[in-house]
Amino acid sequence: MSELPVFTYQARLALNQEQEAALAAFADLHGRIERSLFAAMQARPEHNLKSGRERKELRNELKRTFCRRFKITTRQYNAIRSEVDGKIDAIKERRPDLIKEAGARLTKLKKTIAKLEKKAPGTNKLHQKKRRYATQVARLFDLKSDQKVRRIRICFGSKKLFRAQFSLEENGYPEGKDGLAAWREDWREARSRQFFVLGSKDEMAGNQTCSASLVDDGSFTLRLRLPDAHIRSKQDKYIALTCVRFAHGQEAIRGALSTSRIISSVTKKGEPSRKYDGTSISYRFLRDEKGWRVFVSVEAQPVETRTSRLSGAIGVDINGDHLAVAETDRFGNLIDTWRLDCVTYGKSEEQAKALIGDAAKAIAEKAIAAGKLVVIELLDFAKKKAELASVDPARARQLSSFAFSKTIGAIKSACFRAGVEVIEVNPAYTSVIGSVNYARRHGISVHQGAALAIARRGLGYSERPPRREASVPVRNGAHVTFALPVRTRAKHVWSYWASVKKKLTAAHAAHIRRGKPPPRSLSGSRAPPGCCR
């Protein structure tokens, strides 16, 4: 499988009534087939079959049945099958983390309930904690039961919208038959608002069902093959969507189309053979409040790497409201540090995406100018989500709104386009190392110290802890000092840093108890005491 990233670009479509009706009918049919296929796959799950041959026969049987029943082509069926498989795989991959998170919440709730039973018995807070505990127990039981029998649950249209029918007024619908009719219309629209067209590199223009062609004025024309169920005559087999222009990605799409070529060969029997070869291009058509959009996914073309670890590294520490960046030379010595603000709390999805994209682009540009690779954290998002329960509500909302995975994806994409090498490292104790080893010594923040530790780890350098005591700056300009634990040489160095983390957390807590809380940040939230990895 190719390791090249896939970039997606979008454009707004200008359609007439006939074209809108054709896309709406396509999306409605696509949704019905998707739900029916999922039900059929759950009724006869492949994991119950022992041999690969039986599983292959079942797949082929489903393909023949659905193509004949719904009057679609095999390529259209393959697109729907790939979508269903993708959703099922996502649930399978995510469920172990959900079980782990639910278990962590139960453990924390047990401790909280035990404390409240001693300090505040009979209070409403204790009652609500017990209710939440019972809810989490039931949730964990359901997750483990589904995991055991490999059951997959999908609500097409979203659970939130489905449950809205039981509380119409609370969800913005009028009561009575009118509200139910309005909800039903939204429900149908949510389940038939998009369809996917799967591409393949061995098809003309990278896609047999939807082919793009370049027009002299620089726009594209999309030739969409309709399902057989919607074809009344030969003239209705295709619809042409003209004047399609992409604000971004025009060159990438044009380049992908230019790779399409015909390869002529001769078979073993001496018969002439022709096949296509090029770049796969997939399309997704989506209807929103303004009309229809098309999303084009193209595999990126290889880019020459323009950076080297012999020049040094740029480390990035990802935080809830900013990116801390540190630049080093090839020996791991600090050259420069800076901060890129990324406050996404209260921003729309598009605004947050723009902020993150600008920050990622700035990092890539700096890396190219310096000729240095970029080192980022290999984050455990399940662990980060579980940590939200241990911080104050304002900070939790800020961290929850910050898209860590999107930030990492944006940095990788920007660096790939620029030809910058990206290394991911284990971020274990980098914040502790940055606080203890680098923050006060270099006069930088603890986050910039963590970025320096990340950059050094990417270059392969280890960290030597101080001998006796550590002095760590805090956010109000003061600092905390504490004695370091004794290091046991027989143990791994991370066991030592784990002990340092405990002492640092205790020092922060003592500092706050003395009546010196850190000031609120510009985003209006306090940093949690001992916030370190």
Which pLDDT tens digit goes with each residue over 482-522?
566 666 666 666 666 677 777 677 766 666 666 655 544 44
**508 falls within a domain:** no
The residues, any chain, with a CB within 8 Å of residue 128's CB and separated by 6 or more, are none
Q: Is the pLDDT reported for residue 61 higher than 80?
A: yes
pLDDT at site 525: 42
**268 falls within a domain:** yes
Ordered DSSP codes for 36-73: HHHHHHHHS-GGG--SHHHHHHHHHHHHHHHHHHHT--
**67 falls within a domain:** yes
**277 falls within a domain:** yes
The residues, any chain, with a CB within 8 Å of residue 314's CB and separated by 6 or more, are 325, 326, 327, 328, 363, 366, 367, 370, 372, 373, 374, 375, 455
Of 299, 333, 363, the last residue of a domain is 299
Q: Is the pLDDT reported for residue 50 higher than 70?
A: yes
Q: Model pTM? A: 0.77
What ranges make up the beta strands (E) of 289-411? 291-299, 313-318, 322-328, 334-341, 373-377
Statement to judge: residues 92 and 110 lie in one domain: yes
**458 falls within a domain:** yes
Range of the domain at 440: 309-466
User: CA torsion angle for 321, 327, 328, 329 (degrees, to 10)?
Assistant: 160
**357 falls within a domain:** yes
Statement to judge: residues 168 and 47 lie in one domain: yes
Of 169, 188, 207, the last residue of a domain is 188
Statement to judge: residues 135 and 148 lie in one domain: yes
DSSP-assigned letter for residue 464: P
The mean per-residue pLDDT over the stretch 238-252 comes to: 92
Q: Is the pLDDT reported for residue 91 higher than 80?
A: yes
Statement to judge: residues 122 and 239 lie in one domain: no
Asked if residue 230 lies in contact with residue 25, where contact means CB atoms within 8 angstroms, the answer is yes
Statement to judge: residues 279 and 173 lie in one domain: no
Q: What rounded mean pLDDT belongs to the chain?
A: 86
Q: Is the pLDDT reported for residue 410 higher than 60?
A: yes
Of 155, 172, 188, the last residue of a domain is 188
Statement to judge: residues 315 and 293 lie in one domain: no
Statement to judge: residues 273 and 366 lie in one domain: no
**473 falls within a domain:** no
**What confidence category does residue 383 fall into, taking pLDDT thresholds of 50, 70 and 90?**
low
Statement to judge: residues 130 and 175 lie in one domain: yes
**Structural domains in the chain (count):** 3
Statement to judge: residues 198 and 165 lie in one domain: no
Q: Is residue 488 classed exposed, middle or buried when 0-12, 13-18 and 19+ CB atoms within 10 A define those classes? A: exposed
Indicate which CATH number applies to the domain containing 340: 3.30.420.10
Distance of alpha carbon 71 from alpha carbon 77, whole angstroms: 10
Distance of alpha carbon 156 from alpha carbon 199, whole angstroms: 24
Backbone dihedral angles phi then psi of residue 391, each to the nearest 5 degrees? -115, 165
The mean per-residue pLDDT over the stretch 248-260 comes to: 89
Statement to judge: residues 98 and 226 lie in one domain: no
Statement to judge: residues 284 and 361 lie in one domain: no
Q: Is the pLDDT reported for residue 418 higher than 80?
A: yes
Distance of alpha carbon 34 from alpha carbon 508, whole angstroms: 53
Backbone dihedral angles phi then psi of residue 317, each to the nearest 5 degrees? -105, 120
Distance of alpha carbon 378 from alpha carbon 374, whole angstroms: 13
Statement to judge: residues 51 and 80 lie in one domain: yes
**523 falls within a domain:** no
